[in-house]
Amino acid sequence: MSRCKALVVAAGAGTRAGLPYPKTLHPVQGRPILLRILDLLAPYDPEPTVVVSPSGRPLIEACLSGAGRRANLIEQDEPRGMGDAVLRFDTAPGASEVDRLILIWGDLPFIQPETLAATVRAAEGGATLAFPTRCVDRAYTRVTRDPAGRVTDLVETREAGLEPTVGERDIGVFVFDKAPVFDLLRQPLPDRLGGRGLEHGFLYIVRHLSAAGLPVEALPVATDLDLISLNQLSDLDGFT
């Protein structure tokens, strides 16, 4: 049986949202987002790995301790992008024994258990990488499919210099086989860095997995609640 672990990327400082603490600690309906995510992940991994910033670590440790929860905290010393944050998992206890990872961004308060379960099933069914999607009016990331419906790319429109338009977007949840994805993340591929050339991205691996003939599944199962993320406090209007 494949060993599956969970990774939460929660190194965001919260400054863009006007918060004096990591945005993953912002309370939503009385509970910090991070604890809501850990509740979601508990059936798959009761002690997930969380990527934190050095300044945010003490606050996250205090939150976990106060709630009686356990997680493996790994620091991303500088904000070098999602790809860099994901690779930090290599320093987690037992990382070399893990075959599959559930990856979730740390600012998603309302991921539905059914959405995650469907994504995990797709990975267990043979997808090298699976992620839930939804068609929206302004897709800030955009899934590309060939005429047969096969996923060929997942583009971040801002990095590509494109305007968000109607399209199919991801929600910040991915389930994947660790070996092929980490192999790609470690390679000095020409599109690994963002448009400013500073941050190591993550979404670009979709096109490389697809080009290598590995199965990538974008599952149009996400709900409107799944789409909500904390970028600014107004994103949570009506939910706090």
This prediction has a pTM of 0.95
Cα separation of the two ends of the chain = 40
- Annotated domain spans of the chain: 4-233
Q: What is the pLDDT of residues 108-162, one digit of tens each?
A: 999 999 999 999 999 999 999 999 999 999 999 999 999 999 999 999 988 878 8
Distances (CA, A) of 164 to 35, 135, 160, 236: 31, 12, 11, 21
Average pLDDT of span 22-35: 95
The CATH number given to 4-233 is 3.90.550.10
Element at 130 (helix H, strand E): strand 129-139
